[in-house]
Amino acid sequence: MLNEHLDFSQSEYKALLDKSTEMVLRQFQTVQNQKGYHDHPQAEVEQWFDEKIPELGMDVPTLLDEVEQKVLHTATGNLGPNMYAYVMSGGNQIAIIAEKLAHTINQNQTKWHLAPAMNEIEKRVIRWTAEMMGFPKDSGGVLGSGGSAANLTGLTVARNIFFEKEGIRKTGLFNRKPFVVYASEEVHSCMDKSIELLGIGSNHLRKIKTNETFQIDTIALRNQIEKDLTDGLQPFCLVGNAGTVNTGAIDDLDTLGDIAQEFGLWYHIDGAYGALAALLDNLKPLYKGMERADSIAIDFHKWLYQPFEGGCTLVRNWDMLKRTYFKKAAYLDTELANDGNRLEYNEHYFQLSRNAKAFKVWMSIKAYGMQQLKAMIQKDIDLTNYLNKQVGKAPDFELVADSHLAVSCFRYVGNMTDKQEIVEFNRRLMPQLEKDGRVFIMGTQLKGDYAIRACFINHRKTEETTDYLLEVIREVAEKMVSVEPILSKK
């Protein structure tokens, strides 16, 4: 006979919670030695879960054992210090607790009366973020999935507000001359996707060349804007980078603000990776001009060490969000219950179903304090500088690009002297490092050349784990050289 509900008894549920807690604690018992990657073939992983839909439930403690074996034990090592690929932070323990509590009460943070406390917490996190970024006190904002969604949201507000007088929300893009977005060639790929989703078209995303430090060339930018005006196009939005994912480059944000103001452009900043480093006094001057942006994208699951997801879009006031997204619907109307002070998120964002992403951010900031969080950001940067120094001292490595942030690009050179040979060897090195699995690191393209890219965004890293990174790369590379005699001779 089936139960009348899905709940367990208090004692049964406590036992399951206790068992799941022990599973979590076991992850942290060995976190410093966690592998970067487990090289299981795709077909093998697929086979683990190849089963018909269960008609009857199974013993839950046994299910948890299966989860620990197949999911937790094989997880890519985001928690540990041996993750250097992409921009993956290690999360934090307070946020884990916050997520458990938030999912327990299962609030839908869309209408104020559906989640009063969570709505006010998100507003508070937005206010804190505005203060961090030098934005106005009454700035508006919303948390979404990540940097890509945050950038899409910023550009959506940009389009709808910039062309508001033309009624773009009703008339769309029809019979309108093309309008153009400008960014550097180092801009994140989500910008291409956003431009396409918004109907602007990637042909109208101008990727401006960068200088030797991978910042946007402002002279080339100005020339392109003037050319587009001459050609009868509508320059519309300028995107600045507050820390690129490739190298951590920070554009000259103040000069970009001047250009945006001169040509009457919406000024959006992609700060998903690097904006929060502006909290450090020694780096703050590099971000001068960020406070002039009309909108900015930030990622809390990067440099506030939150578990996924935690993107954030900040704009200069709440009204911009409402003018972008509000659509009256009878079943959502709560005007009679609202005294004018309730902020209804469904009127300020696209989603109606929203979990409480700001709750873990709020709890983390309150538990650790910004002083400690800033110290962890500084440690990541210090360790990146340490890696750069070790690469510079090592005869078998070369530094390709560093930055003021926590990204280092370098290559293994061994005894090779030909640049093309070195580049191709490093390209072949990546899949071998993934197969080895002790560290997880990826490569990137810098002005057409391949390089290894290490991103430090994990508060559990140390100088010892950084040394280990180079040791593993060297060991795997030397093993490759030993079976590729043609390379070792050159």
Indicate the SS3 state at residue 103: helix
Mean pLDDT of 468-484: 94
Mean pLDDT of 223-228: 98
pLDDT of residue 294: 98
On whether the CB atoms of residues 361 and 300 are closer than 8 A, the answer is yes
Lowest mean pLDDT across 119-128, 162-171, 223-232, 462-471: 162-171
Beta bridge partners of 296: 269, 314
Residue 488 clears pLDDT 70, i.e. is over it: no
**Residue 176 — pLDDT band, cuts 50, 70, 90?**
confident
- Reading the block at residue 319, the tokens are 């009204």
pLDDT of residue 291: 97
Q: Domains along the chain?
A: 108-354 (3.40.640.10)
Residue 455 clears pLDDT 80, i.e. is over it: yes
Q: What are phi and psi of 144, to 5 degrees?
A: -130, -160
pLDDT digit string, tens, across residues 113-168: 999 999 999 999 999 999 999 999 999 999 999 999 999 999 999 999 999 999 99
| 367 contact partners, CB below 8 Å, separation of at least 6 | 94
Beta bridge partners of 350: none
Q: pTM for this structure?
A: 0.93
On whether the CB atoms of residues 316 and 130 are closer than 8 A, the answer is no
For 154-308, strand residue ranges (E) read 179-184, 205-208, 234-241, 266-271, 295-299
Mean pLDDT of 4-24: 96
**Residue 34 — pLDDT band, cuts 50, 70, 90?**
very high
Mean pLDDT of 251-261: 98
Where is pLDDT greater, at 331 or 386?
386
Alpha-carbon span 389 to 471, nearest angstrom: 15
Alpha-carbon span 332 to 195, nearest angstrom: 30
> Among candidates 119, 107, 109, which has minimal Cα distance to 342?
119
pLDDT digit string, tens, across residues 269-278: 999 999 999 9
pLDDT digit string, tens, across residues 327-344: 877 667 766 556 678 999
Mean pLDDT of 345-363: 94
Interior/surface letters 268-282, b for 16+ CB within 10 angstroms, e for the rest: bbbbbbbbbbbbbee
Alpha-carbon span 426 to 484, nearest angstrom: 13
Mean pLDDT of the chain: 94
DSSP 422-476: HHHHHHHHHHHHHHH-SSB-EEEEETTEEEEEEE---TT--HHHHHHHHHHHHHH
pLDDT of residue 331: 66
pLDDT digit string, tens, across residues 195-211: 999 999 999 999 999 99
Residue 1 clears pLDDT 70, i.e. is over it: no
Alpha-carbon span 144 to 148, nearest angstrom: 9
Alpha-carbon span 440 to 18, nearest angstrom: 31
pLDDT of residue 484: 73
Helices assigned H by DSSP within 163-252: 168-171, 190-197, 218-230
Mean pLDDT of 476-483: 93
pLDDT of residue 56: 93
pLDDT of residue 334: 64
pLDDT of residue 328: 79
- Reading the block at residue 473, the tokens are 């790369």
pLDDT digit string, tens, across residues 419-428: 999 999 999 9
Alpha-carbon span 322 to 314, nearest angstrom: 13
pLDDT of residue 116: 95
Q: What are phi and psi of 459, to 5 degrees?
A: -70, -5
Residue 229 clears pLDDT 80, i.e. is over it: yes
On whether the CB atoms of residues 348 and 322 are closer than 8 A, the answer is yes
pLDDT of residue 341: 86
Interior/surface letters 94-129, b for 16+ CB within 10 angstroms, e for the rest: bbeebbeebeeeebbbbbbebbeebbebbbebbeeb
Element (H, E) at 399: strand 397-401
